[in-house]
Amino acid sequence: MRNPLSDRIVQIKPSGIRKFFDIVSEMPDAISLGVGEPDFDTPWHIRDEGIYSLEKGRTFYTSNLGLKELREEICKYLARRFDLHYDCQNEVIVTVGGSEAIDIALRTMINPGDEVIIPQPSYVSYEPCAILANAKPVILNLKAENEFRLTAQELEDAITERTKVLILPFPNNPTGAIMERADLEAIARVIIQHDLFVISDEIYAELSYKGKHVSIAQIPGMKERTVLINGFSKSYAMTGWRLGYACAPQRITEQMFKIHQFAIMCAPTTSQYAAIEALKNGDGDVERMREQYNQRRRYLVHAFEEMGLPCFEPFGAFYIFPCIREFHMTSDEFATRFLEEEKVAVVPGTAFGDCGEGFLRISYAYSLENLKVAIGRLERFVKRLKAQQGRDV
Amino acid sequence: MREELLRIIERNSRIDLKELAVILGAEEIDVVNEMAAMEAEGIICGYHTLIDWEKTSIEKVSALIEVRVTPQRGQGFDRIAERIYKYPEVNAVYLISGGFDLLVTLEGKSLKEVSAFVSDKLAPLESVLSTATHFILKKYKDHGTILTRQYEDQREKVSP
């Protein structure tokens, strides 16, 4: 038989998180700080609207772009929260999660051999999606000393004459880093000077704890160069509903639309009705959840300080990214031993790029009570390691 | 800080003060002072415990009683409300809008005890016109807490 597989897909590495997932699944009593999704249930009024839409028999396809009312609400929301003004008829596509938006944005903008700059550590799907879109991914290693923000100099250094697109993943998974207005203004100058485009993944926009999130599309001259990606998963605790959206200038969205139309048809109808309710009446839910994440965040920052584990203060998403270099272990070894000895799952930083080596991603999408138990175990583990190191010296 | 502080202790009044300060991003001394001030102002009225008596072996009966009253000149409903809330077996007294005036919640050891309270003490009060007693059969949710369900984390243990 002939090889049924494409060479390109075979050479893509499976997600580093997968391997860790398999180990954890065999330990039923392990507790986890490893998830990348909210612990809250979707607020009931939103779920109820989904149920109601089913009762009403709204079980058909929607228009390819998504329900008009939903697109209108998305535009109102972006205007209300970020002073961003998109035309709901021509500049918005409702997608199956932010993930689909990343994929179709890349496939729409890339010609073979174009370079896409991907800052890492970052979400696992940018690089494979870029490869599948025929791009040449150029990895840009963010640095702990910059609190994992992207600097203009770093960007400048990564640009070649083939560079076309920058992926901008802030607030960041896994580091919790954010980009403030001044940071964005600095890189915007470089982007405009080199005539680049930006795919800005702002799925964690609502989970910012140092003032309101600023989108790169708000920086003058940037909206026309930006594909803005957002969605409902993190802000409204709606991961399983699989609903996101992309906003961009019409000449980009009308081409993205073709891929979306042929590959997806439309985002799930039930989820779209629920999402309308989320945008209309969910601001209070978002605020309530953000407040609780923020309390946990402060608790963890304090706990790591007490433990003496170096860690910059993260101001976004629901992750904290402590450094474990002092123990002379790889992130993988540390996470594996911590799991085996203390039965707590954390994700090695390397799952999000090679430059995540020496770091761990710890999620605080858990109740304070759960966090306390897990952090107690981490403290015990770290003490033990330090005592062992003391003996070895 | 007040609003967030109140939201936290409303859910968990036993939280350690030091920890409370950490999660609020405030100094412990400021939290202590703020709580003392709110106690003095009567904003914080107590630190109670939510108990699901159903799960104990102690028998308890709770009832909601709708009470219609004639308000008294110059004192409105306050005087009659006071006469009712002074009984220790009364848990709560609310003045409400709608078809009746006062909603009284009550706890007793048995159906008999609650009935006796209504017929011997509440109903004979001068300004009480009528009462309607509703016994509570099951508490599903109380003080914002669901009593019938244990939280179970259904998420995958590790996800990107």
The DSSP code sequence of chain B is -HHHHHHHHHH-TT--HHHHHHHHTS-HHHHHHHHHHHHHTTSS--------GGGSS---EEEEEEEEEPPBTTTBTHHHHHHHHTSTTEEEEEE-SSS-SEEEEEEESSHHHHHHIIIIIITTSTTEEEEEEEE----SEETTEESS------S-SB--
pLDDT digits (tens, 9 = 90+) for A99-123: 999 999 999 999 999 999 999 999 9
The beta-carbon neighbor of A291 closest among B4, B19, B159 is B4
**Minimum distance, in Å, between the CA of residue A392 and any CA atom of chain B:** 33
pLDDT of residue A274: 98
pLDDT of residue A265: 97
Mutate to test the interface with B, among A22, A210, A302, A350 (most CBs of B within 10 A): A302
Q: Per-residue pLDDT averaged across B73-86, rounded?
A: 90
- Measured between alpha carbons, how far is A206 from A234 in angstroms, rounded to an integer? 8
**Minimum distance, in Å, between the CA of residue A295 and any CA atom of chain B:** 4
Higher pLDDT, residue A311 or B75: A311
The beta-carbon neighbor of A17 closest among B24, B155, B158 is B158
Q: Which of chain A's residues have a Cβ under 8 Å away from the Cβ of B7?
A: 291
Mutate to test the interface with A, among B6, B18, B157 (most CBs of A within 10 A): B157
- Asked whether the beta carbons of residue A35 and residue B19 sit closer than 8 angstroms, the reply is no
End-to-end CA gap in chain A: 59
Compute the count of residue pairs across chains A and B with CB atoms less than 8 Å apart.
52
pLDDT digits (tens, 9 = 90+) for A156-182: 999 999 999 999 999 999 999 999 999
- Asked whether the beta carbons of residue B159 and residue A30 sit closer than 8 angstroms, the reply is no
- Asked whether the beta carbons of residue B159 and residue A32 sit closer than 8 angstroms, the reply is no
- Asked whether the beta carbons of residue B24 and residue A32 sit closer than 8 angstroms, the reply is no
| DSSP character at residue A266 | S
The domains of chain A, with CATH numbers, are 7-41+284-385 (3.90.1150.10), 45-281 (3.40.640.10)
**pLDDT greater than 80 at residue A16:** no
Q: Name the residue in chain B with its Cα closest to that of A17.
A: B160
- From A56-60, B2-6, B121-125, B152-156, the region with the lowest mean pLDDT: B152-156
The beta-carbon neighbor of A24 closest among B22, B25, B158 is B158
Q: Which of chain A's residues have a Cβ under 8 Å away from the Cβ of B155?
A: 35, 37, 39
**Minimum distance, in Å, between the CA of residue A85 and any CA atom of chain B:** 31
- Asked whether the beta carbons of residue A302 and residue B4 sit closer than 8 angstroms, the reply is no
- Asked whether the beta carbons of residue B25 and residue A298 sit closer than 8 angstroms, the reply is yes
The beta-carbon neighbor of A35 closest among B22, B25, B155 is B155
pLDDT digits (tens, 9 = 90+) for A247-300: 999 999 999 999 999 999 999 999 999 999 999 999 999 999 999 999 999 999
Residue in B38, B74, B160 with CA at minimum distance from that of residue A15 = B160
The beta-carbon neighbor of A20 closest among B23, B24, B158 is B158
- Asked whether the beta carbons of residue A124 and residue B159 sit closer than 8 angstroms, the reply is no
Interface residues from chain A to B (CB-CB < 8 Å): 15, 17, 20-21, 24-25, 30, 32, 34-37, 39, 123-125, 173, 291, 295-296, 298-299, 302, 345, 347, 351, 368
Residue in B56, B61, B58 with CA at minimum distance from that of residue B116 = B61
Structure tokens at B62: 């709770």
For chain A, helix (H) and strand (E) counts, in that order, are 13, 12
Q: How would DSSP label each residue in B98-132?
A: SS-SEEEEEEESSHHHHHHIIIIIITTSTTEEEEE
Q: Per-residue pLDDT averaged across A371-390, rounded?
A: 94
Percent of chain A at pLDDT exceeding 70: 99
- Asked whether the beta carbons of residue A17 and residue B25 sit closer than 8 angstroms, the reply is no
What is the pTM for the complete model shown? 0.94
Is residue B159 exposed (0-12), middle (13-18) or buried (19+ Cβ within 10 Å)?
A: middle
pLDDT of residue A393: 60
The beta-carbon neighbor of A21 closest among B8, B19, B158 is B158
The SS3 assignment for A298 reads: helix
